[in-house]
Structure 1
Amino acid sequence: MRLLTRFCSSFPQQTTSVGARRGGINTHNTNRHYNSLNASSSSAADQVPVLDPSSLSPSLTRGIHVFNCPDEVGIVAKLSECIASKGGNILAAEIFVPHKKQTFYQRSEFIFNPANWPRAQMDEDFLKISTRFKAVRSVVRVPDLDPIHKIVVLASKQDHCLVDLLHGWQDGKLPVDIKCVISNHERGPNTHIMRFLERHGIPYHHLGTTKDDKREEGILNLVQDTDFLVLARYMQVLSANFLKAYGKDVINIHHGLLPSFKGGNPSKQAFEAGVKLIGATAHFVTKELDEGPIIEQMVDTVSHRDNLLTYVQKSQNLEKQCLAKAIKSYCQLRVLPYEQNRTVVF
Structure 2
Amino acid sequence: MAFAKRGAQVLGVIANGSFKSSRFAGRSLDSRPFTSLAHGVHVFHCPDDVGIVAKLSDCIASRGGNILGADVFVPENENVFYSRSEFIFDPIKWPRGQMDEDFLQLSKKFNAMKSVVRVPILDPKYKIAVLVSKQGHCLVDLLHGWQDGRLPVEITCVISNHNRGPNTHVMRFLERHGIPYHYLQTTKENQREEEMLELVQNTDFLVLARYMQVLSGKFLRSYGKDIINIHHGLLPSFKGGNPSKQAFDAGVKLIGATSHFVTEELDAGPIIEQMVERVSHRDNLHSFVQKSENLEKQCLSKAIKSYCELRVLPYEKNKTVVF
Q: TM-score, normalised by structure 1?
A: 0.84
Please show how residues 209-220 of structure 1 align to structure 2 within 5 Å: 209-220=186-197
1:22 paired with 2:10, answer yes
Task: Tell me the secondary structure at the aligned position of residue 153 of structure 1.
Answer: strand
1:277 maps to a residue whose letter is L
Structure number having the greater helix percentage? 2
Could you tell me which amino acid in structure 1 is paired with residue 102 of structure 2? Answer: D
| In the alignment, structure 1 residue 206 sits paired with structure 2 residue 183 | yes
Q: Counterparts of 1:97 and 1:259 in 2: how far apart (Å)?
A: 32
Candidates 232, 257, 264, aligned match of 1:280? 257
RMSD between superposed Cα atoms in Å: 2.3
- Counterpart CA distance in 2 for 1:222 and 1:21 is 49
1:1-346 matches, cutoff 5 A: 20-22=8-10, 57-256=34-233, 259-346=236-323
> Percent same amino acid at aligned positions?
74
Give the superposition deviation at 1:211.
Answer: 1.7
| Structure 1 residues 263 and 329, CA gap change in structure 2 (3 angstroms) | farther
**Hey, what's the Cα distance between the residues in 1 that align with 2:243 and 2:273?**
18
C-alpha offsets along residues 23-71 of structure 1, whole Å, 9 cap, x if unaligned?
Answer: 69xxxxxxxxx66xxxxxxxxxxxxxxx99xx96111101100011111
For structure 1, list consecutive stretches of 5 or more residues without a partner in the other structure. 1-14, 25-33, 36-50
Residue 273 of structure 1: CA displacement?
A: 3.1
On the 8 A contact 2:234/2:247 being kept in 1, the answer is no
Is contact 1:16–1:96 with CA below 8 Å preserved after alignment? no
Q: Partner residue of 2:26?
A: none
Pairwise CA distance, 1:258 = 5.2
Query: What are the Cα deviations for residues 321-341 of structure 1, in whole angstroms up to 9, with x where unaligned?
Result: 000000000001000000011
Q: Find the aligned partners of 1:86 and 1:238 in 2 and give their Cα distance.
A: 45
Gaps of at least 5 residues in structure 2 are 13-18, 21-28
C-alpha contact 1:89 1:111 (8 A) present in aligned 2: yes
Cα drift, residue 84 of structure 1: 0.4
Are residues 21 and 337 of structure 1, via their aligned partners in 2, closer, same or farther at CA, if it must alter by over 3 Å?
Answer: farther
Change beyond 3 A, Cα 1:78–1:232 = same
User: Which whole-Å CA distance do the structure 1 matches of 2:43 and 2:255 have between them?
Assistant: 33
The residue type paired with residue 317 of structure 1 is: N
Shift of 1:274: 2.4
Q: 1:198 and 1:213 mapped to 2: Cα distance? A: 28
Give the deviation of 1:119 after TM superposition: 0.9
Q: Distance in 2 between matches of 1:109 and 1:264?
A: 44
Other structure's SS at 1:98 match? coil
Distance 1:16 1:158 in 2: 51
More relative contact order, 1 or 2 (CA 8 Å, 6+ apart): 1
Alpha-carbon distance in 2 for matches of 1:17, 1:270: 51
1:171-194 Cα shifts (integer Å, max 9, x gaps)? 111000000111111111111011
Change (3 A) 1:262 1:289: farther
- Give the drift of 1:309: 1.4
Report the counterpart of residue 23 of structure 2 in structure 1: none
Structure 2 CA distance for aligned equivalents of residues 204 and 17 of structure 1: 55
Q: CA deviation at 1:18?
A: 7.9
How many equivalent pairs are there? 307
Q: Distance in 2 between matches of 1:116 and 1:186?
A: 52
Q: In 2 relative to 1, CA 278–79 (structure 1 residues): closer, same or farther, beyond 3 Å?
A: same
Q: Report the residue type matching 1:22 in the other structure.
A: V
Aligned-residue offset at 1:22: 2.8
Moved over 6 A (4+): 15-18
Deviates more, 1:218-227 or 1:259-268: 259-268
